[in-house]
């Protein structure tokens, strides 16, 4: 009999506000917050925090429609509500005929335009120059590591976050293994951009660093990683 209190399922619209909250807290807990760079203090007003939250909720809700977004829930005690313990956003390899609508075939500038067209303008306090610059740094590193085709034929992990109350209990591994199994079933490679903490988890699951220097992405060091599955 399984004793794990955790179960994995697809994310639902109602999960989104708690997913956004837990990701913001999980990322902010590890060193300097990316938020402080993308949404710098000198551009913020009294409403900025709520604006950023609302924008993230709209953005993630819209991504539920296009990507494979899965959550791990901790089953509520005594019949209480389940708690979202962590979530991952996976992007399948580009499907034939959908090349132009897949964000992985776009430049950093095109991705910004696509986002605005899909969910509306970014919060007023965004630093547009920093957003563009970080996107371009990442595109260059990816091109150097993977060539023109980039990761469009791979399973790509776009986001992973675990509630800080549930770290080191195997939740992140469950969410990564889910994508790993899908990719392995299709004989496709996997790709992701890792934080320091994430990198330790991915190494433990057999991912490797791509042969490019770490990327200074929004002031945090990130690593481009892959797991080769295809023959």
Ligand X SMILES: CC(C)(COP(=O)(O)OP(=O)(O)OC[C@H]1O[C@@H](n2cnc3c(N)ncnc32)[C@H](O)[C@@H]1OP(=O)(O)O)[C@@H](O)C(=O)NCCC(=O)NCCS
DSSP character at residue 21: H
Of 34, 126, 194, 215, which lies in the binding site for ligand X, with binding defined by CB under 6 A? 194
Q: Of 125-133, 142-150, 158-166, 181-189, which part binds ligand X (CB under 6 A)?
A: 158-166
> Which of 4, 46 has the CB closer to ligand X?
4
Of 171, 190, 215, 224, which lies in the binding site for ligand X, with binding defined by CB under 6 A? 171
Is residue 173 a contact residue for ligand X (CB under 6 A)? yes
Is residue 53 a contact residue for ligand X (CB under 6 A)? no
Task: Tell me the two tokens of residue 229.
Answer: 């599955």
Of residues 82-101, those binding ligand X (CB under 6 A): 86
Render the burial of 198-212: b for 16+ CB within 10 Å, e for the rest.
bbebbeeeebebbee
Helix (H) or strand (E) holding 75: none
Phi, psi for residue 178 in degrees, rounded to 5: -55, -50
Asked whether the beta carbons of 205 and 180 are under 8 A apart, the reply is yes
Is residue 197 a contact residue for ligand X (CB under 6 A)? yes
In angstroms, give the least distance from the CB of 189 to ligand X: 17
Asked whether the beta carbons of 20 and 51 are under 8 A apart, the reply is no
Is residue 51 a contact residue for ligand X (CB under 6 A)? no
Burial of residue 134, with CB atoms counted within 10 A of its CB: 0-12 exposed, 13-18 middle, 19 or more buried: buried
Residues 17-46, one symbol each (x = binds ligand X by CB under 6 A, - = not), give ---------xx--x----------------
Of 107, 113, 204, 213, which lies in the binding site for ligand X, with binding defined by CB under 6 A? 204
Binding residues for ligand X, rule: CB under 6 A, are: 26-27, 30, 86, 160-162, 167-173, 194-195, 197-198, 200-201, 204
């Amino acid at each position: 009999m399984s004793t794990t209190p955790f179960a994995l399922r697809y994310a639902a619209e109602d999960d989104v506000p708690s997913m956004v909250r837990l990701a913001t807290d999980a990322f902010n807990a590890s060193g300097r917050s990316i938020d402080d760079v993308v949404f710098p203090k000198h551009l913020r007003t009294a409403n900025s925090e709520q604006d950023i939250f609302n924008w993230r909720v709209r953005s993630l809700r819209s991504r539920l429609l296009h990507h494979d977004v899965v959550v791990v829930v901790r089953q509520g005690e005594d019949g209480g509500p389940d708690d979202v313990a962590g979530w991952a956003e996976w992007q399948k390899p580009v499907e034939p005929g959908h090349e132009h609508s897949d964000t992985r075939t776009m430049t950093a500038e095109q991705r910004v335009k696509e986002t605005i067209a899909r969910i509306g303008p970014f919060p007023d306090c965004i630093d547009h120059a920093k957003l563009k610059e970080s996107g371009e740094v990442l595109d260059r590193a990816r091109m150097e590591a993977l060539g023109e085709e980039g990761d469009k034929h791979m399973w790509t992990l776009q986001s992973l976050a675990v509630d800080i109350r549930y770290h080191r209990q195997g939740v992140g591994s469950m969410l990564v293994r889910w994508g790993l199994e899908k990719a392995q079933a299709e004989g496709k490679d996997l790709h992701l951009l890792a934080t320091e903490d994430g990198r330790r988890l991915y190494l433990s699951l057999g991912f490797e660093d791509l042969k490019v220097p770490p990327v200074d992405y929004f002031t945090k060091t990130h690593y481009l990683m892959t797991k080769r599955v295809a023959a």
